[in-house]
């Protein structure tokens, strides 16, 4: 496939897709556990087949895919080839690819990460990538500038949904803000300084907190596309996950993984699971 520059920004593409197809983002996790549950061996060929089944099941009903990159890269060159094949299949169906790599490093490495993950000219061709600000929010600035130039996005981990997240992300700055709040404010500040418009830009965010923290963080991120994990988890009700983004539906990427994958590997069952989540989201809007 010949790389081509996106016609418009990630945020605009997401808004258009979610208006047409809904805000569902399908989590892609070809881990050894999921491969085994689907009756597949732990090989790069199985990872490729897993992706083909998901794409066949989803068709053009999904707006984006959040791909757990390590489950591909652990298979080396063959895994990278499987990821590129999956990326191409997503783009052929008009959807977006969020590469969940959680990158975080010093400023001078960020251009290299961009060349690996971001945009059609990169090695893996993602429309967006996840990143963490553990070394300081300013370390993400080079990556954000490149994402802006490539019409891509960087989804910074503001508050994750894993059970141990509060230990670090809830810690307090000298000003009394939580680390999550400080990161959210830094992203909004970068947007204000570099984008010149209230329209959402490349500084996107992952917000997996529970209420009321999730609502507070969403309010601090008025210019960000928001990836909201948690749908389908046993400890999260749909209404709780959706409540903070009811007034930001065009910016909310609603990710479900286990809630769909458990229906596999039969494409018809996966299709039914995806449709159920579309209806479930509509019921709670």
Which residues form the catalytic set? 102
Question: Would you place residue 22 in the very low, low, confident or very high pLDDT band (cuts 50, 70, 90)?
Answer: very high
Whether residue 7 is predicted with pLDDT greater than 70 in this model: the reply is no
Q: Measured between alpha carbons, how far is 88 from 281 in angstroms, rounded to an integer?
A: 27
| 25 phi, psi to nearest 5 deg | -120, 130
- DSSP H helical segments within the chain, as ranges? 10-21, 32-37, 44-58, 70-73, 76-92, 110-117, 141-149, 166-169, 179-194, 213-219, 238-242, 258-261, 267-283
Question: Would you place residue 5 in the very low, low, confident or very high pLDDT band (cuts 50, 70, 90)?
Answer: very low
Type and span of the H or E element at 19: helix 10-21
CATH of domain 10-283: 3.20.20.70
% of the chain at pLDDT higher than 70 = 98
Write down the pTM of the prediction. Answer: 0.95
| Secondary structure (3-state) at 24 | strand
pLDDT tens digits, one per residue of 98-134: 999 999 999 899 999 999 999 999 999 999 999 999 9
Domain ranges of the chain: 10-283
Whether residue 149 is predicted with pLDDT greater than 70 in this model: the reply is yes
The single-letter DSSP state of residue 193 is H
Residues in a beta bridge with 198: none
Residue 155 contacts residue 190 (beta carbons within 8 Å): no
The first and second tokens of residue 34, run together, are 């999921």
The single-letter DSSP state of residue 3 is -
Quick one: pLDDT at residue 133? 94
With a CB cutoff of 8 Å and minimum separation 6, the contacts of 81 are 44, 48
Question: Would you place residue 199 in the very low, low, confident or very high pLDDT band (cuts 50, 70, 90)?
Answer: very high
Whether residue 4 is predicted with pLDDT greater than 60 in this model: the reply is no
Quick one: pLDDT at residue 6? 60
Residue 87 contacts residue 116 (beta carbons within 8 Å): no
| Secondary structure (3-state) at 200 | coil
Omega of the bond leading into 265 within 30 degrees of 0 (cis):
yes
Residue 183 contacts residue 168 (beta carbons within 8 Å): no
Give ∠ CA 269-281-217 in degrees, rounded to 5.
130
For residue 11, how many other CB atoms are within 10 A of its CB?
23
Mean pLDDT over all residues of the chain? 94
């Amino acid at each position: 496939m010949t790389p081509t520059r996106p016609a418009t920004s990630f945020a605009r593409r997401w808004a258009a897709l979610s208006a047409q197809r809904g805000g569902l983002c399908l989590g892609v996790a070809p881990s050894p556990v999921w491969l085994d549950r689907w009756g597949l061996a732990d090989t790069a060929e199985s990872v490729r087949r897993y992706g083909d089944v998901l794409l066949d099941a989803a068709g053009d009903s999904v707006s984006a895919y959040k791909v757990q990159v390590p489950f591909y890269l652990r298979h080396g060159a063959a895994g990278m080839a499987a990821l590129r094949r999956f990326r191409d299949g997503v783009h052929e169906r008009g959807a977006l690819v969020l590469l969940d790599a959680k990158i975080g490093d010093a400023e001078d490495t960020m251009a290299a990460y961009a060349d690996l993950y971001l945009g059609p000219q990169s090695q893996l061709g993602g429309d967006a990538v996840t990143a963490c600000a553990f070394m300081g929010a300013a370390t993400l600035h080079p990556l954000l500038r490149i994402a802006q130039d490539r019409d891509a996005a960087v989804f910074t981990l503001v508050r994750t949904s894993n059970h141990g997240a509060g230990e670090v992300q809830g810690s307090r700055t000298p000003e009394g803000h939580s680390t999550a709040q400080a990161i959210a404010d830094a992203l909004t500040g970068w947007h204000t300084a570099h984008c010149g418009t209230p329209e959402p830009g490349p500084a996107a965010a992952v917000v997996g907190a529970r209420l009321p923290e999730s609502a507070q963080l969403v309010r601090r991120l008025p210019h960000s596309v928001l990836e909201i994990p948690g749908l389908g988890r046993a400890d999260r009700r749909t209404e709780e996950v959706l409540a903070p983004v009811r007034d930001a539906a065009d910016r909310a990427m609603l990710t479900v993984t286990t809630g769909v994958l458990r229906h596999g590997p039969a494409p018809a069952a996966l299709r039914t699971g995806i449709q159920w989540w579309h209806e479930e989201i509509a019921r709670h809007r």
